[in-house]
Amino acid sequence: MRVGIASVHTPGIYGGAEFLVDGLIEAVRAAGHSVHKISVPFYFEPMDAAAKTMDQCLATDFLPYGGGQIDRMICLKFPAYMIRHPDKRVWLLHQHRSAYDLYGTPYGWLPGKKDTDALRSRIIAEDNQSLAGGTPGSARAVYTIAERVCARLRQYNGIESKALYHPPADFEAFRCERALPYIFVPSRLEGLKRQDLMLKALAACRSPIQAIFAGTGSMRKHLEAMAEGLGLAERVRFVGAVSREEMLSLYAHATAVFFGPLDEDYGYVTLEAMLSSKPVVTCTDSGGPLEFVRDGETGMITTPEPEAIAEALETLTGNAAKAAELGRNGYARYQSMDITWSHVVDTLLADIPDLPTRAAGKLP
């Protein structure tokens, strides 16, 4: 089968979305199919750059050619799923969150501006058209990478979908080794990842718990200054970008992993910790991690408050046997969930009827 895989990319950035695209391409080829990759440049600034990319994707129309040289099209990310194809399936990473759940928050667009509101209305209308099904070139089936993304799509667009999980990079290489007395905090150093919450929790701990932060991002200097101001300089290390082997080792030797982002779509950190047999501490509003972490069984779920997180950290660091038990439970849970590329490919390319969908008529 000739399979098209369509997404967008921002030049100079390689992150989770880019890994997913590459992983899917490799898995589809391994299943014996040929792949045609379509990657449209996307820029976050200026704001109207989103509209220009939408125009480009909407103009990419395979309908007049009966699909052309592509039998099935898999679209991944806004606005690539607006490409028209007679057999289009969407595996949605997330929508343009600035127009949806982040709208009117410090992380998204602010309401009340004519241009912003008009662009937001257009994005929602085009999403409904492309994802709801029932019109030529729209999606015949809609999947997402996580239940949290399904919930947003249902809430804002009235469109039903199904979560389809995939493994993190190098999933076979993760291992568990003797735990050392530190909490591992891996992720981009950005506001939505909330490493500042972890620093405040460490400051609230009664015992001198140590933590290692791995990753780069715009918040690094701010977080380093914050750690200094909280008197954590001797207990916290920011190691920046590390090699894959160093990352695997940091997971393997950690007592536990903290991952408390705000409403994460999916979150490889959770899965990587589970593969390393380490308990995960996350928050009640962290989104994707809550699909995997079971409080008191595979990790600990707390309110997003420093004192509550501090209590969870002290519980795990103060009871090595309990931490190890939760870690083993996490590994077993991962293995039971069929999180494999072969399952992803079989599902996306299967001969199945359209998923039930409907387009919402109102703006959220």
Give the pLDDT of residue 340. Answer: 96
Note the pTM of the prediction, 2 decimals.
Answer: 0.86
Sort strands 183-186 and 162-163 into parallel, antiparallel or unpaired.
unpaired
Give the pLDDT of residue 129. Answer: 94
Give the pLDDT of residue 101. Answer: 87
Give the closest residue to 24 by CA, choosing from 173, 170, 166, 174: 166
User: Phi and psi (nearest 5°) for 258?
Assistant: -100, 130
* CATH superfamily membership of 171-335: Glycogen Phosphorylase B; (3.40.50.2000)
Residue the block writes with tokens 């001969």: 351
Give the pLDDT of residue 352. Answer: 66
Edge-to-edge order in the sheet of strand 183-186 = 236-240, 211-214, 183-186, 256-258, 280-283, 299-302
What is the rounded end-to-end Cα distance, in angstroms, of the chain? 39
What is the distance between the alpha carbons of residues 122 and 283, in angstroms, rounded to a whole number?
Answer: 33
Strand partners, 31: none
Q: Where are the beta strands (DSSP E) in 200-306?
A: 211-214, 236-240, 256-258, 280-283, 299-302
Please tell me if the domain spanning 2-166+340-349 has the same topology as the one spanning 171-335: yes
Q: Buried b vs exposed e over 244-280: b needs ≥16 C-beta within 10 Å? A: eeebbebbbbbbbbbbbbbbbbbbbbbbbbbbbbbbb
Long-range contacts, 100-105 (Cβ 8 Å, 24+): 100/124, 100/152, 100/156, 100/364, 101/152, 101/156, 101/263
- Contact between 274 and 295 under an 8 Å Cβ cutoff? The reply is no
DSSP per-residue letters across 272-300? HHHHTT--EEEETT-BGGGGT--BTTTEE
Q: Over the chain (364 residues), what is each successive 10-residue block's mean pLDDT?
A: 94 81 95 96 86 94 90 96 96 91 86 90 95 89 95 94 94 96 95 96 97 95 97 96 96 98 94 98 97 97 98 97 98 96 96 54 42
Edge-to-edge order in the sheet of strand 72-75 = 34-41, 2-9, 72-75, 88-92, 139-144, 162-163
What is the distance between the alpha carbons of residues 28 and 270, in angstroms, rounded to a whole number?
Answer: 25
Sort strands 183-186 and 236-240 into parallel, antiparallel or unpaired.
unpaired
Give the pLDDT of residue 358. Answer: 44
* CATH T-level topology, domain 2-166+340-349: Rossmann fold (3.40.50)
Give the pLDDT of residue 353. Answer: 63
Query: Could you tell me the residue ranges of all domains in the chain?
Result: 2-166+340-349, 171-335
Helices (H) and strands (E) in the chain, counts: 11, 12
Extract the tokens encoding 35. 């792949």
